[in-house]
Amino acid sequence: MQKNITSLGSLNWDDLKFFLEVARTRKASSAAKRLNVDYTTVSRRINSLEQALGTLLFEKSRTNGFVLTAEGQRLLSYAESIESTLHMACEQVSGSGVALSGHVRMGCTEGFGSFFITPQLSHFVDTWPAISVDILPLPHFISLSKREADIVIALERPEHGPYVCCKLCDYRLRLYATQDYLDRHAPIRQVSDLAEHPFISYVDDLAFSSELLYLNNLLPNASAHLRSTSVIAQYVAAQ
């Protein structure tokens, strides 16, 4: 596609709304559903924006859907800034502010997302009924660069990328056993006593963070009789 100098007069600002939804959902059908239009309208609007800008914004993949090109990534940051500015302008002009609305996708670690974040969501949606939330408690990293989520709660800070990061809290990894197990086995008074006990742990070569390989550091010769990539599966197995 040949690049041309784009004039503001040739750009339909409403097309940016379609661009943002496709970038966020990576599917024209999902974007169409959110915007309450049909699939062909989304496709036509994206094509119109690409023609106006003289560049390709998405590459289509059977497995990954609509993937942003380098030019699309650059436009995304500007489009999100425009969207945010418009929201703030509406709040300022209306005086009392506009009710928050929209869609947020949050990625987080499996245990934290399932047992801590999810129970809080009922209060959140009651407070902000116009905001819909996707919660992704998965046993692997969620990619911000691939637009898999808007917010990510992770064990480790990203090594690079234009992200705003902040520390939520400290956390500790500990060994746990049910009371029934402890009652039926010899007491554990020191680290060396652990060598006589079986463990439930992560699959080493599939662990998404080195922070989870604590068992090897604690007991290099420890025997994990059951391993799983899912901390919830480990929790259920231990009961």
Residue 179 binned pLDDT confidence (cut-offs 50, 70, 90): very high
CB atoms within 10 A of CB 135: 16
Cα–Cα distance measured from residue 46 to residue 23, given in angstroms and rounded to the nearest whole number? 11
pLDDT at 96 over 60: no
* Cα 32 from Cα 39, distance rounded (Å): 5
Per-residue pLDDT of 100-158, as tens digits, reads 778 888 989 888 899 999 998 888 888 888 888 898 888 777 777 677 888 888 888 87
Q: What is the mean pLDDT of residues 188-197?
A: 85
Architecture of the domain defined by 102-153? 3-Layer(aba) Sandwich (3.40)
pLDDT band at 6 (very low <50, low <70, confident <90, very high): low
pLDDT at residue 2, rounded to an integer: 46
Cα(84)–Cα(4) distance, rounded to whole angstroms? 27
pLDDT at residue number 95: 59
What does pLDDT average to over the chain? 83
The crossing angle, in degrees rounded to 10, of helices 28-35 and 39-53 is 110
Average pLDDT over every residue of 48-61? 91
Sign of the Cα torsion 142, 146, 148, 149 reads positive
Determine the pLDDT at residue 49: 92
pLDDT digits (tens, 9 = 90+) for 10-29: 678 889 999 998 988 888 88
Domain ranges of the chain: 8-94, 102-153, 179-238
Angle at the Cα of 11 from the Cα atoms of 75 and 24, rounded to 5 degrees: 35
Which fold does the domain 8-94 belong to in CATH? Arc Repressor Mutant, subunit A (1.10.10)
